[in-house]
Structure 1
Amino acid sequence: LQQRAFEEKIIQIEKGFIDLLENIQGIDTNLVAGEQKSRNQLIQRIKQEYNRKILMGETLAEGMDSPKFSNYENYNGKTTSLDDLQGQYVYIDIWATWCKPCKAEIPFLKKLEEKYLEKKITFVSISVDSGKDHNIWKEMVAEKELPGIQLFADNDWNSEFIKNYLVNSIPRFILIDPGGKIISADAPRPSQGEIITILLNQLEI
């Protein structure tokens, strides 16, 4: 939706809710107050998400230079930067050990990596776990035998790379081309199967 149309829709929703309450007789005032608060919170979240999508379209569009991460700790105890991966397509998984939807993607991600093992694409997983969970991250990488390049973000959710990509929920997948340009700032998940496969095949990796 264009911004004006979006704002008109929000006004319609708010007016419809008010009209509904005004036409119900004898409704409990505490219930009304609670529902109004919930409605206001929901509308606020919808507005925030809409504005985030607009900003993504302006700053993270296909073909734009990708934000970079530098010297993230990798599982081997050394560091990896996005610039180290120049010349390869890069498929990034932003996740955390406590995130159930993230862990649900692991089997699909493994299969995807196996499928493109000999191709010009690098799979990178960036954990946004807090520093206190560093050991949990290392243990899970080992326990689940996670392939690809496993990285630990330098400041969890406050890492510049995470903020620059406007990440507000995980898992989040990002696809970058060999020249460091954005292909998709919100790429399909591995569990979407054919959708991500079609996208990668179109790139003739």
Structure 2
Amino acid sequence: MTPAQLAVKDQVFEKLVKYQKGAPAYNFDLVDINEKKVSLKSLAGKVVVVDVWATWCGPCKAEIPHLKKLTEEMQDKEVVFVSISTDKETDKDKWKKFVADEHLDGVQLYDPSGKSVITYYKIPGIPRFMVFDKAGNIVTVDAPRPSTPGLKKLIEQYL
């Protein structure tokens, strides 16, 4: 195979196998707002909703009120909301201040410049919402946003 053919093969593999529903999710291992390590595996037993965002992202910030409402509506369910900030390393304090000032709930993780999650899932833009089942498998790596009813319906299917 030529290099171009190999590249196409890899792209097709990722879409059809690596990121498909039911495939094992990437076990991120990141620090939270208190510098404690949190991995996807440590959240096993709950549906995990991941919000990939940054403090500089207008559309990301526009989803925050909707995410807060959804988090409140589902607080007694077996679901955990994880927000992964992709702010630059130099903006880590800005991220911490934003989380505190906005009283953000859920698990707040930090992935400088998206080196871990954005790189693995090849996310072209944020915000990006992803859902993983209780066993740590992919439900979708391109979920609806909280501002639409589709995300809540999707989560409820896996509770």
TM-score normalised by L of structure 1: 0.69
Runs of 4+ in 1 over 6 A off after TM superposition: 51-54
TM-score normalised by L of structure 2: 0.88
Q: Which has the higher contact order (CA 8 A, sep 6+)?
A: 2
Which of 17, 20, 24 lines up with 1:58 in the alignment? 17
Which of 45, 50, 54 lines up with 1:96 in the alignment? 54
Residue 67 in structure 1 maps to residue 26 in structure 2 = yes
Which of 134, 151, 155 lines up with 1:196 in the alignment? 151
CA deviation digits over 1:65-116, x for unaligned, max 9? 001111x111122221111101111000000000000000000000000011
Cα RMSD after superposing both structures: 1.7
Which of 115, 118, 129 lines up with 2:73 in the alignment? 115
Matched AA of 1:195? G
CA deviation digits over 1:173-197, x for unaligned, max 9? 01001111100111111011x2112
- Judged with a 3 Å threshold, the aligned counterparts in structure 2 of structure 1 residues 114 and 52 are, in CA distance, closer, same or farther, namely farther
Which of 114, 128, 139 lines up with 1:157 in the alignment? 114
SS at match of 1:175: strand
Check conservation: 1:56, 1:166, Cα contact below 8 A. Answer: no
Which of 172, 177, 183 lines up with 2:133 in the alignment? 177
CA deviation digits over 1:143-178, x for unaligned, max 9? 00000000001x42322x321111110000010011
SS at match of 1:135: helix
How far apart, CA to CA, are the structure 2 residues paired with 1:157 and 1:53? 23
Question: Which protein has the larger Cα radius of gyration, Structure 1 or Structure 2?
Answer: 1
SS at match of 1:190: coil
Check conservation: 1:52, 1:166, Cα contact below 8 A. Answer: no
What are structure 2's unaligned runs of at least 5 residues?
A: 1-9
How far apart, CA to CA, are the structure 1 residues paired with 2:96 and 2:15? 32
Q: Which has the higher strand share?
A: 2
State the aligned residue count: 150
How far apart, CA to CA, are the structure 1 residues paired with 2:77 and 2:129? 19
